[in-house]
């Protein structure tokens, strides 16, 4: 596709200058309008997400969900927001007030800033950064800061313990997350999210790199603190985790940031592995990209909700073992295998990734075959490990089982 990306800010500035406005004023107004547009969309989206998540959870768990305020309970999130605004704002006496009040702002602003680099169509993107992937990783790391800041500044031992445990989770799962992100970068040779989307015009990366997509999704589920990785809250163990001392609208900002973070992960997954805005007719009507991206995001988001409402919480040791014994080695193996396969494809002179469906078919078969081989090797290793563990368990049971003597003649 030869169409060049035109970001929103430059388009608005050009229109204002063409209308006779001062170039400096036009640039300022265009940037302001772009910021308002990109920031308003997540704020409006989070209201709907809360209703959707509560309804989906209710259906999975055989409940009704919100159904009183507004038609089908649609206005329930608005009522909840108004309730939080009127709640008493409590600050612990020994808290560091400045940092304590800053943590909720960081939590929500971090997610909104991610939307600045998301391509919504071939010609609609807030800012097409050449380091879009690096920008996303940097913002994701700020989430670790807001957890530590919120837990430490509250002057509460439970909050601090919750922050320590959450930091261990977030830092650990950032390793396989970054390794999985390197696969699309390796396949396209760019970190721009718009360029990565353009490269999937022939074949989506979920087909050519399914293991990287799976690792990325699982690692992000842990990063968002959703079940079965919800150690960030752990109500049964640490009351509410690092944000136990927050009330009213401050707690609401933490909660809204969590809802929006999950949806943002679904958007990024759609962009990186599901072709983003690609779909029939998008070249002739770029606005269709919004519809295609929204449909793909909705499917991924519902899948994440399904996982959250069906799986029980892992223990801390299970979470760490899954990461360092499975996720990290798997991500390294996938990255090395994809790099080797791409090198072989290049040596064979096959069509690069940016070709059409038919042109991309040979390299798709090779890359998919490499992933299937990795899956076979992994499952074989799991089978062997399971047999060894069962043999060890049976040996222990045999050693500890009491010997029962049976009288003669019985």
Per-residue model confidence (pLDDT) at position 194 = 92
Instruction: Identify which of 254, 316, 282 has the alpha carbon closest to the alpha carbon of residue 108.
Output: 254
Quote the DSSP letter at residue 116.
Answer: G
pLDDT of residue 6: 44
Please state the domain extents for the chain: 8-389
For residues 191 and 132, is the Cβ–Cβ distance under 8 A?
yes
Q: In this predicted structure, what is the pLDDT of residue 354?
A: 54
User: Who's near 384: CB < 8 A, 6+ residues apart?
Assistant: none
- The predicted pLDDT at position 353 comes to 47
pLDDT at site 4: 40
The pTM of the full predicted model, rounded to 2 decimals, is 0.86
Q: Which are the contacts of 125, defined by CB distance < 8 A and separation ≥ 6? A: 5, 7, 8, 117, 118, 119, 193, 194
Residue 405: what pLDDT? 57
Contact 166, 231 (CB under 8 A): yes
- C-alpha torsion sign, points 8, 11, 16, 17: positive
Label residue 281 exposed, middle or buried (CB < 10 Å: 0-12, 13-18, 19+).
exposed
Pairing of strands 124-125, 119-121: antiparallel
Q: Which parts of the chain register pLDDT below 50?
A: 1-6, 353
- Please enumerate, as own/partner, the contacts of 9-18 that have beta carbons within 8 Å and a separation of 24 or more: 9/34, 9/126, 9/127, 11/123
- Report the alpha-carbon angle 229-233-238, nearest 5: 120
Whole-angstrom Cα distance, residue 170 to residue 222? 7
HEC-encoded secondary structure of 128-159: CCCCHHHHHHHHHHHHHHHHHHHHHHCCCHHH
Instruction: Please say whether the beta carbons of 119 and 271 come within 8 A.
Output: yes
Return d(Cα 68, Cα 267) in angstroms, integer: 30
Structure tokens at 216: 């990325």
Looking at residue 233, its pLDDT comes to 62
Residue 8: its pLDDT value, please? 55
Distance (Å) of CA 184 to CA 124, 157, 224, 297, 326: 21, 42, 21, 18, 21
Residue 52 · residue 266 · CB < 8 Å? no
The per-residue pLDDT for 3 is 38
Q: In Å, what is the CA distance from 399 to each residue of 155, 391, 396? A: 50, 12, 5
Angle between helices 288-308 and 210-223 (to 10 degrees): 70
């Amino acid at each position: 596709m030869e169409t060049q990306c035109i970001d929103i800010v430059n388009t608005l500035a050009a229109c204002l200058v063409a209308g006779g406005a001062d170039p400096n004023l036009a640039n300022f107004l265009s940037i302001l309008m772009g910021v308002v547009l990109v920031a308003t969309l997540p704020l409006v989206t989070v209201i709907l997400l809360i209703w959707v998540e509560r309804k989906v959870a209710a259906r999975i768990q055989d409940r009704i969900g919100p159904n009183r305020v507004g038609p089908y309970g649609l206005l329930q999130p608005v009522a909840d927001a108004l309730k939080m605004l009127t709640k008493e704002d409590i600050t612990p006496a020994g808290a560091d007030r400045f940092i304590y009040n800053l943590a909720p702002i960081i939590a929500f602003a971090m997610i909104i800033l991610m939307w600045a680099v998301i391509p919504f169509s071939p010609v609609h993107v807030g800012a097409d950064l050449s380091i879009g992937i690096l920008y996303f990783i940097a913002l994701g790391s700020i989430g670790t800061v807001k957890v530590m800041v919120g837990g430490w500044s509250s002057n509460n031992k439970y909050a601090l313990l919750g922050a320590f445990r959450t930091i261990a989770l977030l830092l650990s799962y950032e390793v396989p997350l970054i390794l999985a992100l390197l696969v699309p970068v390796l396949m396209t040779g760019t970190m721009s999210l718009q360029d990565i989307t353009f490269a999937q015009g022939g074949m989506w990366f979920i087909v050519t790199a399914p293991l990287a997509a799976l690792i990325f999704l699982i690692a992000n589920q842990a990063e968002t603190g959703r079940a079965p990785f919800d150690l960030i809250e752990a109500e049964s163990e640490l009351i509410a985790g690092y944000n136990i001392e927050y009330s009213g609208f401050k707690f609401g900002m933490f909660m809204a940031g969590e809802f929006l973070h999950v949806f943002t992960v679904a958007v990024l997954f759609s962009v990186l592995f599901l072709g983003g805005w690609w779909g029939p007719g998008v070249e002739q009507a770029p606005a269709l990209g919004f519809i295609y991206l929204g449909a793909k995001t909705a499917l991924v988001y519902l899948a994440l909700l399904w996982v959250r409402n069906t799986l029980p919480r892992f223990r801390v040791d299970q979470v760490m073992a899954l990461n360092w014994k499975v996720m990290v080695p798997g991500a390294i193996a996938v990255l090395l295998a994809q790099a080797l396969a791409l090198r072989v494809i290049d040596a064979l002179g096959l069509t690069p990734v940016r070709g059409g469906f038919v042109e991309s078919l040979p390299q798709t078969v090779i890359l998919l075959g490499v992933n299937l081989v990795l899956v076979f090797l992994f499952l074989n290793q799991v089978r062997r490990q399971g047999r060894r563990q069962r043999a060890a368990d049976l040996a222990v049971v045999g050693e500890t089982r009491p010997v029962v003597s049976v009288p003669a003649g019985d």
